[in-house]
Structure 1
């Protein structure tokens, strides 16, 4: 078990390097750069360019659809919406653009399996950032995985040619540095090594380690268990493109035996004489027939591709219309059933990622000196209701069932506490204006 900063540095840099190939592969699958099908060592550049057209960003579509149902929209501290700590965190939310920061961390977790949030200090104010899993690693607490026993961020500054590593331990942090090149002048390709040197003194800070890991279910990206299906889809698309491209170059042949020489004994270049061109007419000798290869029906290939996409939608619990746009032409009941799997999945991922997000906000409260033990709660838009039509229908049903307008604003419309307060003020003003107009009308009567 590591105990000293140098021991933790060695352990965490090795852990960071070990998982780099897998993180890099997940990045490729979630950014439309999946490995190309039918790739060989001596593949020509022209064939590589053709292969690239056979890839579709299925991993990215899957993560985009799911993250669209995971939208944090506010924060609450304690039992009341208005208190000094809640007001301070709303400023932190605004100043740090946390909807974007949290969305980036969620995307990293969904697409690579890990996202990271770090709470730091700049000019006395808390700063919350989303860090890339390519540069960040932590040793999670076995009991509470969103808390870290130790954490490390390693990065390179190309301008000065130096590598840096910032190591967090409980109550202390240490910055290390080294040259970006080895002793023989080659660029380093890993974070491990024994040549890291401390830069400056060991710093002390108050509170737990301010690094929080958002880990996806089973420590895997959303599409990682189904990479074989993505590869099958891309291979099928490549085969269809090859068949389609061949249709533009139909094979033709002359049947009947053409003479090699003309009447004067000169060689005849039949390929030049019968060169295909728009409007070309050929005067063939009697008994000569033209053979042309038949077109291949690509509809079975298209149907097979749709079947693979449906399989991918099924195993990932995603709506089919995410991958096949014409799949949205179905009944309202059918559409609702299709989204059930994704909604349940979104609720599970929200439950897993809320704690580290709340931990980052709690660290910000500690920096501001406002942590009084009250519970910090991140608020989310309801994953069941994403579109305006879904929210409107659900709000009408909830109103009929007797739910209060405030409950509807929070749990269906997904409003933040500030938005709810603003909306209530606007409603009160409208009611007052209506009452004034009604009173004026009655007086005139």
Structure 2
């Protein structure tokens, strides 16, 4: 029997992180499925499952997607702000744009909201500079030192190479990088790892960054727990909603069309003595009987009000638990004032500000890995609050009367640091032109008032 690898050896870290990554990916897969509307079908009795399977597939109303998108849709990095002299903020924004992180950061925020964590990887580029890429939480995991929380000790990146069919992984330690590969294992089997040799690279080569090259984007982490999904408390309610919809649809199928009854009729029989149904009941049929004592009627149609109210109550539970504005989920906005809308969104806004504190940490670590000190380039977020231009302008005008600098007003307006710098430069240029015109008018040569004056002067 082979001996287990030595503690903290490359093979020990590889096996340990691979196991943890597989366990976490399996545990969070359900959140990804529910976001993609791949819900578990509501439970039914075995005899009823097959006839109603078509209805079960139609019973899934995906509120999980709305909960996540309402949150992630208001997470937007608008720039960087430097607290020291120099152009560090411009360098940080240039790096951000060069790596297409306007969209890349949104991908990272979305996966973190769904699965609890995502990552940004920083890779040095030959010739200078850095490449930053969003990484999926099923492909990357970081281990932190137990005696120094927040200090990364190792990281593993895992993927399947579609070109070769091999399972590949790269282990990152603060000083070294180790690469492995294995045939894709069957379910339940452990990979048979071997060294992955890359042309021009030494196996176990130097880590050029000298640090674990990942910034972790964690959604609502706790002191001894990693990030958590926004859907953790929603799945049970989503299942209730799907069950209510399925029951309503089955009721519609079986009892929404009122049942008919008739009395005083002679029921015909066939040659075998079996009774024959006297009428083919349908919405476009008329029932006629020659017997004077015949009477017709119908039963009351099934009342669906209870199902509709039950679903609405569950949707309100989702809104309360996730701080999602109810009108986002219910789709109803009837005579709502601006104050009412603002109050309805207050919980979502507070949640966004709270979550951003932890997202800041991962983004700032990423920028530090790329050579941008966090003290020189602070993350600037776009405001998550939605206000009309009239409300915003009115507030800014009132602030200006208190002596608030114009740059601060521009920032409150929602301008990015790059726009603020451009506006400041335009203002300085306009002032310079105005001053130049005034000085020329005051001290420059003056033309004669008319021809007579010019002649006298001659």
Q: Same fold (TM over 0.5)?
A: yes
1:92 positional shift: 1.4
Aligned-residue offset at 1:8:
0.4
Secondary structure of residue in 2 paired with 1:323? helix
Q: Which residue of 2 aligns with 1:368?
A: none
Count of residues in correspondence between the two structures: 423
The 2-side partners of 1:39 and 1:203 are apart by 57
> Structure 2 CA distance, aligned partners of 1:250 and 1:435?
86
The whole-number CA distance in structure 2 between the counterparts of 1:98 and 1:140 is: 26
Inter-CA distance 76–284: structure 2 relative to 1 (3 Å threshold) = farther
What residue is the counterpart of 1:196 in the other structure? 193
**1:62 paired to 2:70:** no
1:161-240 alignment to 2 at 5 Å?
161-180=165-184, 182=185, 188-189=186-187, 193=190, 195-200=192-197, 201-205=203-207, 206-217=209-220, 218=222, 219-240=227-248
3-state secondary structure, aligned to 1:225: coil
Q: What is the CA distance between 1:409 and its match in structure 2?
A: 2.0
Q: Are residues 267 and 277 of structure 1, via their aligned partners in 2, closer, same or farther at CA, if it must alter by over 3 Å?
A: farther
Q: TM-score, normalised by structure 1?
A: 0.83
Deviation sequence 1:24-49 (CA, Å, 0-9, x none): 10112222222222267787566333
Alignment of 1:73 with 2:73, yes or no, is no
Matched, 1:377 2:374: no
Cα distance in 1 for partners of 2:430, 2:392 equals 22
Offset of 1:221 from its aligned partner? Answer: 1.0
The CA deviation string for residues 247-274 of structure 1, in whole angstroms up to 9 with x for no partner, is 4544334323423259xx8989854753
Q: Please, which runs of 5 or more residues in structure 1 have no aligned partner?
A: 183-187, 366-370
Query: 1:322 maps to what in 2?
Result: 328
1:101 matched to 2:104: yes
CA pair 373-129 structure 1, distance change in 2 beyond 3 A: closer
What do the CA deviations read for 1:204-228 (whole angstroms, capped 9, x no partner)?
1232111122222243211202332
CA displacement, residues 342-365 of structure 1 (integer Å, 9 cap, x when unaligned): 111111110011111111122122
Report the 3-state secondary structure (helix = DSSP H, G, I; strand = E; otherwise coil) of the residue aligned with 1:236.
Answer: helix
**How far apart are the structure 2 equivalents of 1:45 and 1:386?**
51
Corresponding residue number in structure 2 for 1:126: 130
CA distance in 2, matches of 1:291, 1:231: 39
Check if 1:22 corresponds to 2:23.
no
**Contact 2:257–2:301 (CA under 8 A) maintained in structure 1:** no
The CA RMSD over aligned residues, in Å, is 3.4
- Using the alignment, how far apart are the partners of 2:176 and 2:388 within structure 1? 46
CA–CA distance in 2 between the matches of 1:325 and 1:59?
15
Alignment of 1:340-351 (within 5 A): 340-351=346-357
Aligned twin of 1:255 = 263
TM-score by length of 2: 0.81
Q: Which has the larger radius of gyration?
A: 2
Q: Distance in 1 between matches of 2:363 and 2:373?
A: 18
Q: Give the gaps of 5 or more residues in structure 2.
A: 1-5, 198-202, 440-445, 447-458
The equivalent position to 2:294 in structure 1, one of 276, 282, 288, is: 288
Q: Which residue of 1 aligns with 2:118?
A: 115
In the alignment, what sits opposite 1:185?
none
Distance 1:394 1:223 in 2: 36
